[in-house]
Amino acid sequence: MSAGQESPALGGKPTMLLTGGGGLVGRNIQAHPGAANWHILAPRSAELDLTDAGAVDAYLARHQPDLVVHAAGRVGGIQANMANPVAFLDENTAIGRNIIMGAHRAGVRQFLNLASTCIYPRAAENPLREDMVLTGTLEPTNEGYAIAKILALRLCEYIRREDEGAQYKTLIPCNLYGAYDKFDPKHSHLLPAIIHKVHQAQKNGETSVEIWGDGTARREFMYAADLADAVLRAAADMASLPDSLNIGLGQDHTINDYYATVAEVIGWDGTFTHDLSKPVGMKQKLCDTARQQDWGWQAPTSLRDGIAQTYRHYLESGYA
């Protein structure tokens, strides 16, 4: 079956190869109603080792997907990135190169690469525009991961430069939260960590919760199901996408705002204290969404609704 051709054996649906199908983004893509329009292959690492170029080539030759959505990668927080910089650079570089070049060699004409806002310079002026990539020094704590993501983005751009018909494009999502997130305090990112912390305070009858720093640092968090919505919109019309596109809200909130909204959703009416001795990170990290607006898409879920749905998942998942 050539790329773009529907397979009668698969009910006329085009085939999507989704890497990272077991992660936050991958699981939200598969749970989205639009996923029903695709025959989705989502092999776990035991079935397909993305660091093995030969295995990737063989898988692509066997299945001949119409589209690859690349959401896989070695991910982790600041401590993990700082402790294992070799692995974060080497594994993510290998994964990105193998799946992109493997797809290109296999004649796959549509490839949707997912990057991260860590590809932007640490001192870049907010909001962050797509043309700011490689205009300054990266954040040192996750530099290896960022370099690998930049390599994948540029590789897609270079393939298009040599072959205009190849729809190899990149989405750059802002911070995410949502169903299938990690709530374990040792591994969770900001919003699931806040949900866990405030829930535990309510459960244990605590009247105060501590916030690191003064809580004025601003962050942009999007509900992961909304990214899935953007991915499936792009998958249906790859030609309409620019080569690289931020996917975000175009607005941010303070850390204090996130704590207050979580407390409201959970129904905890205690007070917050601030530990000013703790690190707070960058003061702001906000995506420019002008290209996204031109593309005609915006995130449909409000912060309160997204947190409420994530909290429901938290309770149902047994973390509480």
At residue 49, the pLDDT reads 97
Rounded to 10 deg, the angle between the 190-203 and 255-266 helix axes is: 40
pLDDT (tens digit, 9 = 90+) per residue, 10-35?
568 999 999 999 999 999 999 999 99
Please, which pLDDT band fits residue 3 given cuts at 50, 70 and 90? very low
Cα–Cα distance, 154 to 203 (Å, whole number):
48
Share of the chain above pLDDT 70, in %: 95
Instruction: Note the pLDDT of residue 220.
Output: 97
Residue 320 pLDDT: 74
Instruction: Answer for the pair 224, 232: CB distance below 8 angstroms, yes or no.
Output: no
171 vs 238: CA distance, rounded Å = 11
120, 145, 168, 311: the catalytic one is 145
- On the question of pLDDT at 94 being above 60, the answer is yes
| Choice between 224 and 280, residue whose per-residue pLDDT is larger | 224
Q: What are the pLDDT digits (tens) for 215-258?
A: 999 999 999 999 999 999 999 999 999 999 999 999 999 999 99
Q: How far is CA 84 from CA 144, 169, 217, 272, in A?
A: 9, 29, 27, 34
Which residues make Cβ contacts (< 8 Å) with residue 85, sequence separation at least 6? 143, 144
Over the chain, what is the mean pLDDT?
93
* 120 assigned to active site: no
Handedness of CA 262, 267, 268, 271 (dihedral sign): positive
Nearest to 27 by CA among 182, 152, 170: 182
Beta bridge partners of residue 211, listed in sequence order: 274
Q: How confident is the model at residue 289 (pLDDT cuts 50, 70, 90)?
A: very high
> Radius of gyration over alpha carbons of the chain, in Å?
20
Q: Looking at 10-24, 38-52, 163-177, 181-195, which range is the least confident one?
A: 181-195
**pLDDT value at residue 188:** 80
* Cα four-point dihedral sign 150, 61, 109, 12: negative
Give the pLDDT score at 8. Answer: 45
Mean pLDDT computed over 82-108: 93
Average pLDDT (123-147) is 95
As a whole number of angstroms, the distance between CA 122 and CA 282 comes to 8
Secondary structure (3-state) at 105? helix
pLDDT over 70 at 78, yes or no: no
2-5 contact pairs (CB < 8 A, 24+): 2/64, 2/107, 3/64, 3/65, 3/66, 3/107, 3/108, 3/109, 3/110, 4/66, 4/109, 4/110, 5/66
